[in-house]
Structure 1
Amino acid sequence: MPASRPTQTRFMLLLLIPMVVWGSTFMVTKELIALWPPYALAFVRVTLGTLVLLPLAISRHRTGNRLPWPTLWLMGLLGVALYYLVFNLALVYVSASQGALVQASIPAMTALVAVLWLRERASGLRWLGIAMSIAGVLIVFSGSDSNGGESSQFGSLLMFASVICWALYTALAKRVTELDSLVVTVAVMGTGAILLLPLAGFEVITAHMAGKGLAPLPLMSWLSLLFLGVVASGLAYLLYNASLQHLDASAVGVYTNLIPIVGVLTGVIVLGEPLSTRAIIGGLVVMLGVWITSRSERPAAVTA
């Protein structure tokens, strides 16, 4: 039974919260990455998110239901371990706002993976949207700020690698659509945390051997870390999942376009990051391509 209009309005407003939270993670991660190494930061974030959602996942998982662990481990590798490794490392070299512009291409790249890997049909309009998104990303690359130079372009390439990781992860998620989405998400985050542990441990040990160790975080940085783990990787997902149960997937898909916009705005306004004209034009081309891609296909609900 469709939700009433007041209920839909309430959940549409509620959906703004995870969009703003996820959009601001570029800025928050950029600040933390200057204090802690990228792999250790990724491990702590994912572990906190897993612990927040774990009690709910245990209560919803039915005893006797076997989980497809090979698929879940692969999803944890692509969508958590590799994704956060390249995402965090990218923000060492690229601004938060430019990273957000590159990540705006996720819907189009997901559509491309679906066509090439899952053999989904693609209309001419869908191909046009994908091509425009790729062209927009290339323009963003060319719009790297003059202070960043080659390192900024390298950071953009790393951020684009995170886009590919997420697109592949989304394709794999189609294999587990019959399972509880919260249980799948916790299983994937948990396996991702396990895969991140050796790299994070090596990073910390190497830092200690070099006489540096992990820098002590000030109070605001600890709050930022809790924000990434508890809020962005935990509570925001719960709000997103609740909204998805009461809204059409098409409406939710429109809201996800707010994430790169918030990412750019927080980077420019809060961090004072410069943004070249070419990067802005490239970002607009990416978003136009994403819009065309979304108009050419029937939206599907997000699984995990």
Structure 2
Amino acid sequence: MNRRWRAILMLIGVMTLWGSVFVMTKDIIDVVPPLTLAFMRVAIGFLVLLPFAIYRLRRQPSPRPPLPWRAMLTMGLIGVAFYYGMFNLGLFYTSASQGALVQSSIPAMTALVAILWLGEPATRSRVAGIGLSVVGVLVIFSGSPVDTSAAAPVLGNVLVFVSVIAWGVYTSYAKRCAHVDAMILTAGVIGAGALFLLPFALIELRGQSLPVLDTVEWMEVILLGAGASGLAYMFYNLALQDIDASQAGVFANLIPVVGVASGIAVLGDPISVRAIIGGVIVIAGIWITGGAETPRTIDS
């Protein structure tokens, strides 16, 4: 098997794992409170990534460049603590399938933040794609049925959408740290996020007994932490060594597909026709946004 096909298989595996996060989180969130689960997930992910980060750090030639600790703390606060906190709180109120559809707008919202914050070119195609994705999210909101898996779907979807915006801000901020080794940066950011989440988890558990998990639930927590928040990042970075980032971004469209399909198949999530239409509109907007060409500057 050549390196390109290996990278493609790794990306499919990573996106499938990230797509299954919605079902695993929804399945366990009634046992472990949302912020506590977020802390457990990122803490396990940090412990998995830490030895790889230390190895990469030691291999750097001396003198080693200083790490951007302030930026890493900011990214940990926005892209880990706040992101996972809002994501888990959102899934507490909405279904896994609806949450997956809302999260499918991440590429478009990331492009919007990049335009507003980083000053990236706002081409007509990019603006049209972003606008179409926003319309799709609103359609999903309007087609959110209330049931046992979604006690307050509109509130839950709004919270998930807030996490989408947080991820867009985090991604734009991360572009300023592109000079830092990806493994070292990821471990540092996730570790910082775990520190920020710890006091909220302690407050959430105050006056309560510790959650009692069965074997399957522990496996889900470990898979969320070691897999989705740990090894998946490493395999994603490895895949990017043999495939273009723009091509890798296309595979991200698997995440909502896996999320919706697994939510319906595993949890029996009901999903309305309007929500499905909204998801299709969001994905169409993403394709338009991702396919928009960035105008060349004089320097290029």
Query: What is the aligned partner in structure 1 of residue 260 from structure 2?
Result: 264
Query: What is the aligned partner in structure 1 of residue 199 from structure 2?
Result: 198
Q: Deviation digits for residues 54-96 of structure 1, max 9, x if unmatched?
A: 0010111146321111111110010000001000000110000
Q: Is residue 2:169 matched to residue 1:161?
A: no
Taking the TM superposition and a 5 Å limit, the aligned residue runs for 1:112-123 are 112-123=112-123
Give the C-alpha shift of residue 248 in structure 1.
Answer: 1.1
Give the C-alpha shift of residue 108 in structure 1.
Answer: 0.3
Q: Is residue 2:259 matched to residue 1:254?
A: no
Residues 25 and 237 of structure 1: is their aligned pair in 2 closer, same or farther, counting only changes over 3 Å?
same
Q: Deviation digits for residues 209-231 of structure 1, max 9, x if unmatched?
A: xxxx1331011000111100111
Give the TM-score, by structure 2 length.
0.94
Q: Distance in 1 between matches of 2:225 and 2:147?
A: 31
Q: Distance in 1 between matches of 2:291 and 2:152?
A: 35
Question: Which residue of 206, 209, 223 maps to 2:219?
Answer: 223
Taking the TM superposition and a 5 Å limit, the aligned residue runs for 1:182-197 are 182-197=183-198
| Unaligned 5+ runs, structure 1 | 208-212, 299-304
Q: Distance in 2 between matches of 1:35 and 1:19?
A: 26
Query: What is the aligned partner in structure 2 of residue 210 from structure 1?
Result: none
Q: Distance in 1 between matches of 2:70 and 2:28?
A: 33
Q: Is residue 2:233 matched to residue 1:232?
A: no
Give the C-alpha shift of residue 239 in structure 1.
Answer: 1.1
Query: What is the aligned partner in structure 2 of residue 37 from structure 1?
Result: 33
Give the C-alpha shift of residue 190 in structure 1.
Answer: 0.5
Q: Is residue 129–residue 286 contact of structure 2 (8 Å, CA) maintained in 1?
A: yes
Query: What is the aligned partner in structure 2 of residue 27 from structure 1?
Result: 23
Amino acid at match of 1:65: P
Amino acid at match of 1:231: G
Q: Aligned Cα RMSD in Å?
A: 1.4
Q: Distance in 1 between matches of 2:205 and 2:93?
A: 20
Give the C-alpha shift of residue 146 in structure 1.
Answer: 3.7
Seq. identity, %: 51
Q: Is residue 94–residue 151 contact of structure 2 (8 Å, CA) maintained in 1?
A: no
Q: Distance in 1 between matches of 2:185 and 2:6?
A: 27
Deviation above 6 Å: which 4+ runs of structure 1?
Answer: none
Q: Distance in 2 between matches of 1:90 and 1:119?
A: 30
Give the C-alpha shift of residue 150 in structure 1.
Answer: 7.8
Amino acid at match of 1:233: S
SS in 2 for 1:67: coil
Residues 37 and 15 of structure 1: is their aligned pair in 2 closer, same or farther, counting only changes over 3 Å?
same
Q: Which moved more, 1:146-155 or 1:49-58?
A: 146-155
SS in 2 for 1:185: helix
Q: Distance in 1 between matches of 2:10 and 2:34?
A: 31
Q: Is residue 2:277 matched to residue 1:281?
A: yes
Query: What is the aligned partner in structure 2 of residue 74 from structure 1?
Result: 74
